[in-house]
Amino acid sequence: MPGKNLSRDEAQQRAGLLSVDGYEIHLDVTSAPDATASTFVSTTTVRFRCAEPGAASFADLLAPRVREVTLNGRALDPAAAYDGARVALADLAAENVLVVVADCAYSRTGEGLHRFVDPVDGETYLYTHYEPAEARRVYANFEQPDLKAPYRFTVTAPAGWDVYSNGAEESSTVDGDARTWRFLETKPISTYLTAVVAGPYHVARDHWSRELPDGSTLEIPLAATCRKSLAPYFDAEEIFTVTKQGLDFFHEEFQYPYPFGKYDQCFVPEYNIGAMENPGCVTFKEDFVFRSKVTEAAYEARANVILHEMAHMWFGDLVTMKWWDDLWLKESFADFMGSFAQQEATKYQAAWVTFANQRKAWAYRQDQYPTTHPITADIRDVEDAKLNFDGITYAKGASVLKQLVAYAGRDAFFEGARRYFQQHAFGNTVLGDLLEVLAVTSGRGEQAMRDWAAAWLQTAGVNALTPELTCDAEGRITELAVLQDGTPDDSAAAPRDLRPHRIAVGLYSRESDGALRRTARVELDVTGARTVATGLAGQPRPALVLVNDDDLTYCKIRFDADSLATLRTSLGAIEEPLARALTWSACWNLTRDGLLPARDYLALVLRFAGQESDIGVLQSLHTQAKGALEVFVDPAYRAEGARLLAECALRELRAANPGSDHQLAWARFFAATAHGAEDFGLLEGLLAGTARIDGLEVDQDLRWSLWIALAAAGRATVAELDAELKRDNTASGGQKATQALAARPTAEAKAAAWSAVADSDQLPNAMVGAQTAGFAQAGQRELTAPYTARYFELLETIWAERSIEIAIRFVGGFFPRLQTDRATLEATDAWLAGHPAAAPALRRLVLECRDELARALRAQAADRG
């Protein structure tokens, strides 16, 4: 469609021309319960000013049909004014009123106004999701973050429903079977932050209050919603506890009252992301409503997301970036503040351990792709923006902010945030606006902050830090230096910039009880290629040197030869959880970089994973070990490695404390690694109730894990999977059954999964994910190999014809990542060479998949020795 992919240049031109005074939006969704109805009626009235009367501009809209367009009382012909993506606005006045009446489409892709029918009770649910530029699927607007405006929503829906939006409900009236809700006008916000949630949702309510410095009391009504069929599992009290703790923390630290009146948190089905920070109406994926037993790590993750979205109420909603180049101004801050608040204000005290082991692993991976970018990225258009919600913008940015707090000081950092909110409330900012206040509050000065930003925000790539020890004849340290590597691991990539790092170096010695404990620690500023640490001379040579102890900077940790030897025999003896998590993370990076043979990494997991106390770290180890086995080990070692992992999983499962989180984690890992008739027989026995492991409850989620494993092994029939779906006829059950059917090791199962996604655009987003997850099974490479050529033939067609969300899922889900051979790499290179004009966002995704494949081949070569 012409103009569908809004560019930065167009947005800047429009922002220079227009300013928006307000929107009035009426949505009529009374048709939603009718499965045959594909559209709803959207009426938008927008008042805006034009700096150059007589000029032309456009409004954004993606709708199957436009009924009416009226500009300043003058009716325009929709056929002439609307091209499928834009409404042309000619001869603008100084002050303008635009009215657009359109039939907008209900979505099944999680973009725009998503419609979901609950298989349990047949009830219909709606919710919106827009970021970065999908509000135009629901109402006509100026779809860019710097054209903020107040919004007043009115929604007509079935009378038995509830409706939520950014503003508080002002009134509602009933007319027959319909009810119309009117909501209070919002503060000025961006289009992507507006929200409507509608349906017969179950709701829990609470409130939070705080006395303000002027003596008044701030009262914030709280609500938490989910589908009615999930109400028995909804632990709203725990959600409210974390919410109140977060509100206490952010009000104390930011000293700016929560500005959006109420705080609703809606848990919605088939959500594409973890959550979205719509002010006053935050939406979350309903996977955070736990139907079955989950580990403490799942509750910790949910708390982190709650606090992440709450931080956005200030970083992102109150103060918003002008364009998506500065996406980090909200996402990096929210990612950092989520962990910071969690550690400071809640019972979940492993926040920084999880951050070091999981979030930063995402950043390290993303930052080594050939498509890596600075934290402040070059975002040309909204397709670029969609792909930049990535590990760099979130986790690397958050890591760099952690470094900034160490650099500027905690008090100076938060004082800078307070001034930033006061100066730019309800406005839009760029990087320089933040640096300006931090230069003052930190005392570092403008040049120092610009230098810091240049080093950390405006360059790409990750550095490696390696200790270099010199000892005397008595085994005491004479010098310890930190080497900073500016050369990438892939020689085809560009050299990396060296950066300043504020780090801690920890020396760990073996104690009489066998534990590895820190016996010395120094902080230093690493600059350049080699920096000598002072204060360690004379210390006994330790068993382990850990650079970046306490995880103060963003880097890959390397080890000297003696430290690596210590880890091979004693990694599990590191007593401090964060230090142990950092060590595991470093070993995984060494494996991904081909510097540690993948079978050696598996040996570490086999030997020490059973000693890991942190459940989040343990679950990461399970994921990484499975990944190493699938693509990093020498193919000749796969069968032996699979046998050893399965034996380890079963051994640890039987040894775990009955009913513990560790037992559940090992049970899931055993299902994922089961190997051989005896293992599969145990899975079948657990399902049938003829086998039992003391303390292990085989609840519904675990049952699906077992069924998917059996299906992939060819030991589950269609009839058995259908019977399990009847037992669990829920949205989650439907997705798991679809995955299990696609996982079966038959040509027919693969053809059906492929066709369901590639040959039709009717599959909802959640089912696309289920089909691709089942399609790709490590033990079925020969069945999926024929689809490599078809995949590359379809790429551009899928990208052009599907929504960007579904296209992204196709590109990543069906890429032949398990075909780790030279022929697949050559096929990928041939497509890239033959399609230089393909959409940049599509090429980026394929380049990233190509990089993972090339990395797998290098790791396999390293594993062969």
As annotated, the active-site residues are 309
Q: How many CB atoms lie within 10 A of CB 523?
A: 14
- CA atoms of 619 and 668, how far apart (whole Å): 10
d(CA 405, CA 411): 9
Contact criterion met (CB below 8 Å) for 234 and 202: yes
Gap between the Cα atoms of 673 and 627, Å rounded: 11
DSSP strand pairing (516-526 vs 501-510): antiparallel
Q: Tokens 């006395």, residue? A: 211
The gap between the terminal CA atoms of the chain, to the nearest Å, is 52
Neighbours of 543 (CB within 10 A): 22
Separation CA 73–CA 56 (nearest Å):
17
Ordered DSSP codes for 175-224? ETTEEEEEEPPPPSB-GGG--EEEES-EEEEEEEEEE-TTS-EEEEEEEE
CA 385, CA 273: separation in Å to the nearest integer? 15
Dihedral angle sign, alpha carbons of residues 362, 363, 367, 373: positive
CA 212 distance to own-chain centroid? 34
Of 675, 628, 682, 623, nearest to 648 by C-alpha is 675
Which amino acid appears at position 522 of this protein? V
φ, ψ dihedrals at 559, nearest 5°: -125, 150
The residues pairing with 40 across neighbouring beta strands, listed in sequence order, are 104
Query: 183, 153 in Cβ contact below 8 A?
Result: yes
Cα 82 to its chain centre, rounded Å, is: 35
In order of 299, 331, 411, 570, 689, the CA distances from 308 in angstroms are 14, 9, 20, 36, 41
- In 3D space, the residue among 702, 600, 621, 607 whose CA is nearest the CA of residue 651 turns out to be 607
Burial class (CB in 10 A: 0-12, 13-18, 19+), 447: exposed
Amino acid at position 339, single letter: S
Dihedral in degrees, nearest 10, Cα atoms 688, 690, 695, 696: -30
Q: For residue 468, give both structure tokens.
A: 């270099």
SS3 assignment, position 377: coil
**What's CA 378's distance to the chain center, in Å?**
20
Q: Burial letters for 583-598: b for 16+ Cβ neighbours within 10 Å, e otherwise?
A: bbbbbbbbbbbbbbbb
CB 726 within 8 A of CB 694: no
* C-alpha to C-alpha distance for 200 and 198, rounded to whole angstroms: 7
Record the tokens describing residue 805, joined without a space.
Answer: 């969300």
Q: Yes or no: say if 21 and 47 are a contact pair by the CB < 8 Å rule.
A: yes
Q: Token pair for residue 600? A: 């050696």
Q: How far is CA 95 from CA 19, 53, 98, 403, 415, in A?
A: 10, 9, 10, 47, 40
Residue 207: beta bridge partners? 221
Q: Where does 758-798 show beta strands of DSSP type E?
A: none
Peptide bond into 132 cis (omega under 30): yes
687 and 706 in contact (C-beta within 8 Å)? yes
Show the tokens assigned to 179. 């009810």
